[in-house]
Amino acid sequence: MIKEKKIIQNGHLGIVQEQAFTFDALKLESGEKFGPVTLAYETYGVLNKERSNAILITHALSGDAHAAGVHAGQDNPGWWDEFIGPGKAFDTDRYFIICSNVLGGCKGSTGPSSINPKTGKPYALDFPLITINDIVNAQKNLIDHLGIEKLLSVVGGSMGGQQVLSWLVNYPGSLRSAVPIATTIKHSPQQIAFNEVGRQSIMADSHWKSGNYYDGAAPTKGLAVARMIGHITYMSDKSMAEKFGRAKKDAGEPFKFTADFEVEGYLRYRGDNFVKRFDANSYLYITKAMDNFDATAKRPLQEILQGSSVKVLVISFKSDWLYPAYQSKEIVKACKLAEVETTYCEIDSTYGHDAFLLEVQEESHLIKHFLKKVFYAYEVTGEYGA
């Protein structure tokens, strides 16, 4: 139920439960009609009677619907748990928070590993190519299902930020504010190149079998390498130096091709753990959607945003070389030219791209005050609308 309160434990949200929403079909940007579509989602807090306090959190490439709290019988806090809860950036005493797993994902939403009702087997590469706009259009179906006409905000980092921009462009009348974090209007050649190397590592795995691996061994080695490549781009040179330096794991024999350095062991650990929770085909589809995303839709973004009343907060991080600050500034420039009320903050962090997950204090301060300002008119006057 939408208005179910969650138990609070030790300052955090307590046990939360994943839900699912299924609808008949979605018209994709390609023109194809695809369905049925299921979206896994979680909610935190209480939707007020005016249905005016809802915030959609959009996740990054490897994320899912589990953004906060823990699942029953498990010790698995959500991926943005430090940001969501009573008194936090997304204050569940005030706001109703929604997070859904993306279309094409592998954590409850319809994706390549889902069963194709026409064949009784996983879609694999019969799953259609999807776009970020398709992902957002599926989310819009969920928001409509929840009876929410206008979101207070849509917030997300990295690929989540691309989804925020898609909402801003395609559904400006359905939101009051938007917070794109560490993201871009469209990928640079370098960003595409990193994703392509990851995809090639998966497809080069002998177990990939053109995507038809679900009845046998999965391409875990290729997916692990893709994750290792990705994780290098998420950190900064300084954060890696501080975390690992040139420290070695042990004093074994030199020149053996083992994980002698701490950083080697760390990357292998991250890769090996990732394959336990993520589907290789989903990785291919989602990274391709990221690479194909272009918020400008062949028109200058400032033209698309002209006349929008949505308030925007753009956040970037100085050490983020995967999604460098200049890309966030391009978003800000377009908003300013369109006369959209926009605030820009560049946080001095050493964490690299991962900063949007780790810079809890500064990021929370910015988001908390921004949301309070956006919600102020409703709290004071009781009016909520354009």
Dump pLDDT digits (tens) for 283-294: 999 999 999 999
**Per-residue pLDDT at 297:** 81
Judged by average pLDDT, the poorest of 120-134, 168-182, 211-225, 263-277 is 263-277
In tens, the pLDDT along 307-364 reads 999 999 999 999 999 999 999 999 999 999 999 999 999 999 999 999 999 999 999 9
Q: Is the pLDDT of residue 304 over 70?
A: yes
Length of the chain: 386
Find the catalytic residue in 153, 158, 236, 308: 158
Whole-number pLDDT of residue 7: 41
Residue holding tokens 């029953």? 72
Q: Is it the case that residue 250 has pLDDT exceeding 60?
A: yes
**Quick one: pLDDT at residue 252?**
59
Reported as a pLDDT band with limits 50, 70 and 90, residue 253 is low
Query: What local confidence, expressed as pLDDT, does residue 258 receive?
Result: 74
**pLDDT at residue 152 is higher than 90:** yes
Q: At 308, is the secondary structure helix, strand, or coil?
A: coil
Looking at the domain covering 8-186+295-381, what would its CATH class be?
Answer: alpha beta
In the set 282, 320, 349, 354, the catalytic residue is 320
pLDDT for residue 323: 98
279 is catalytic: no
Task: Decide the pairing of beta strands 84-85 and 54-58.
Answer: unpaired
Whether residue 205 is predicted with pLDDT greater than 60 in this model: the reply is yes
User: How high is the pLDDT of residue 293?
Assistant: 98
Identify the pLDDT of residue 381: 52
Query: Active site includes 353?
Result: yes
Least confident of 58-62, 74-78, 356-360: 74-78
Task: Kindly give the pairing relationship between strand 19-23 and strand 26-27.
Answer: unpaired
Catalytic residue selected from 12, 316, 353, 354: 353
Whether a cis peptide bond, with omega within 30° of 0, leads into 172 is no
For residue 54, pLDDT over 50 is answered with yes
Q: Please give the DSSP secondary-structure letter assigned to residue 324.
A: -
Q: Are domains 8-186+295-381 and 192-288 of this chain identical in fold?
A: no
Does the structure show a pLDDT above 70 at 366?
yes
In the chain, what are the domain boundaries? 8-186+295-381, 192-288
pLDDT at residue 255 in the model: 60
* Mean predicted lDDT score pLDDT of the chain: 92
Is it true that domain 192-288 has CATH number 3.40.605.10? no
Separation in Å, CA 212 to CA 36, 62, 196, 217, 330: 21, 21, 20, 10, 41
Spacing of C-alpha 39 from chain mean position: 14
Helix-helix angle 220-234:280-292, to 10 degrees? 40
So what's the pLDDT on residue 13? 87
pLDDT of residue 262 exceeding 90, the answer is: no
Across the range 360-377, mean pLDDT stands at 93
With pLDDT > 90 as the criterion, what percentage of the chain qualifies? 84
pTM for the full model? 0.93
pLDDT of 49 over the 90 cut: yes
